[in-house]
């Protein structure tokens, strides 16, 4: 077994008649940080939602940490527990306090004793610097704080892979930085990360590789420096010239 933690081969996905993902081949090694970028509607979010099987693919195979994602959903919860996900709209549970948001899954899914779960949650909240807000409800926090809580909540499951689905797109410019800082720290700690984002600064700072997608296909995949210094395809050049 190589240290390839995600292997996607020949994957196709349709929404009705519309093909969103075309012939995706992607391998991700352990501890690599990968940034996925591209214009909206290019299938970036769908791709990482497929890795978590929040969307089902119709053709090809996705292997996450040695388990293939198939129709047989018996193990899917186990796989999901090992893959953390952070969403654009935070998706915190509004009826629970910040601390309970973080301890809910460890207690009920991983059967962790409540005390241990709370300790763990406070550790992670400390890392994203909102431990002092632990007893508040999500509605009382700013967007940036909510997103950092969402990161902490995902980390509390101690995942092997973290997926970020445009984590800063719904935030004020001022709050983007605090979330990115939390993500940079996480990257430095050696987490395997796949990040869909438009923050090219973040990509330059932490990504090992950048993937550019357009119209459901992976147009270009390159080392970060290479990607920004001399992009090969014209479509990538056009995109970069507009976004930078």
Partner 1 sequence: MNKLNFLQPDKNNLNTYLYTGVILVALSIFIVFLNSFFNKDIISFLPGSISFFLPLILGFIGLHLIRIDYSGLKFLDSINKNINTNNFNAFLSLLIVFVVIKSLPPILSWFILDANIAGDSKDVCTGSGACWTYIKIWFNRFMYGMYPNAEQWRINLSFIALAFLGTIGFFATEKFKKYLTLYYVVVYPVIAFFFIFFFISGGPIFFDFSYGIIAAVISIIIGFFIPPKFKMYYFIIVPITLYILLKYVFFYEELIELGKLEALEWVETGAWGGLSLTFIVSFFCLIFCFPIGLFLSLGRRSDFPIIKYFSIGMIEFWRGVPLITVLFMSSVMFPMFLPEDMFIDKLVRVIIAISLFEAAYVAEVIRGGLQALPRGQYDAAKSLGMGYWKMHILVILPQALKLVIPGIANTFLALVKDTPLIFVVGLLEIVGMLNLAKTNPEWLGFAMEGYVFASVLFFIICYAMSKYSYNLEQKYKTER
Q: What is the 3-state secondary structure (H, E, C) of the chain?
A: CCCEEEEEEEEEEEECCEEEEEEEEEEEECCCEEEEECCCCCCHHHHHHHHCCCCCCCEEEEEECCEECCCCCCCHHHHHHHEEEECCCCCCCCCCCHHHHHHHHHHHCCCCCHHHHHHHHHHHHHHCCCHHHCCCCHHHCCHHHHHHHHHHHHHCCCCCEEEEECCCCCCCHHHHHHHHHHHHHHHHCCCEEEEECCCHHHHHHHCCEEEEEECCEEEEEEEHHHHHHCCCCHHHHHHHHHHC
> Binding to partner 1 by residue 161, rule CB under 8 A?
no
Which residue among 20, 37, 43, 87 contacts partner 1 (CB under 8 A)?
A: 87
List binders of partner 1 among 162-221 (CB under 8 A): none
Round to whole Å and give the CA distance between 116 and 52. 26
Mask for 15-54, x = binds partner 1 (CB under 8 A)? ----------------------------------x--x-x
Minimum CB separation of residue 121 from partner 1 in Å reads: 13
Residue positions counted in the chain: 244
Q: Is position 147 an interface residue for partner 1 (rule: CB under 8 A)?
A: no
Rounded least distance, CB 35 to partner 1, Å: 20
Choose which of 7, 31, 70, 137 interacts with partner 1 (CB under 8 A).
Answer: 137
Sole window of 122-130, 135-143, 171-179, 221-229 interacting with partner 1 (rule: CB under 8 A): 135-143
Query: Of 63, 104, 184, 240, which lies in the binding site for partner 1, with binding defined by CB under 8 A?
Result: 104
**Both ends of the chain: CA-CA distance in Å?**
39
What tokens were used for 203?
């990509």
Instruction: Indicate which single residue of 66, 93, 132, 225 sits in contact with partner 1 (rule: CB under 8 A).
Output: 93
Only one of the segments 25-33, 93-101, 125-133, 207-215 lies at the binding site for partner 1 (rule: CB under 8 A); that segment is 93-101
| Binding of partner 1 by 89 (CB under 8 A) | yes
Minimum CB distance to partner 1 smaller for 36 or for 105: 105
Q: Is 6 in the site for partner 1 (CB under 8 A)?
A: no
Q: Site residues (CB under 8 A) for partner 1?
A: 49, 52, 54, 77-78, 80-85, 87, 89, 91-95, 104-105, 108-110, 137, 139-140, 150, 153-154, 157
């Amino acid at each position: 077994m190589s240290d390839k933690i995600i292997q996607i081969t020949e994957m196709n996905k349709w929404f009705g008649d519309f093909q969103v993902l075309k012939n995706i081949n992607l391998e991700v090694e352990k501890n690599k940080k990968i940034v996925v970028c591209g214009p909206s509607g290019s299938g970036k979010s769908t791709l990482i939602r497929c890795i978590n099987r929040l969307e089902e693919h119709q053709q090809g195979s996705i292997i996450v940490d040695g388990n293939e994602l198939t129709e047989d959903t018996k193990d899917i919860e186990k796989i999901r527990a090992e893959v953390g996900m952070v969403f654009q709209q935070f998706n915190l549970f509004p009826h629970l306090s910040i601390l309970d948001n973080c301890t809910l899954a460890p207690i009920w899914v991983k059967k962790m004793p409540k005390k241990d779960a709370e300790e763990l949650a406070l550790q992670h909240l400390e890392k994203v610097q909102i431990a002092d807000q632990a007893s508040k409800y999500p509605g009382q926090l700013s967007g940036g704080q909510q997103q950092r809580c969402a990161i902490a909540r995902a980390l509390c499951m101690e995942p092997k892979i973290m997926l970020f689905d445009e984590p800063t797109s719904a935030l004020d410019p001022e709050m983007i930085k605090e979330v990115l800082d939390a993500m940079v720290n996480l990257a430095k700690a050696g987490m395997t990360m796949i990040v869909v984002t438009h923050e090219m600064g973040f990509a330059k700072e932490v990504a090992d590789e950048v993937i550019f997608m357009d119209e459901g296909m992976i147009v270009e995949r390159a080392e970060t420096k290479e990607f920004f210094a001399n992009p090969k395809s014209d479509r990538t050049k056009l995109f970069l010239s507009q976004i930078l």
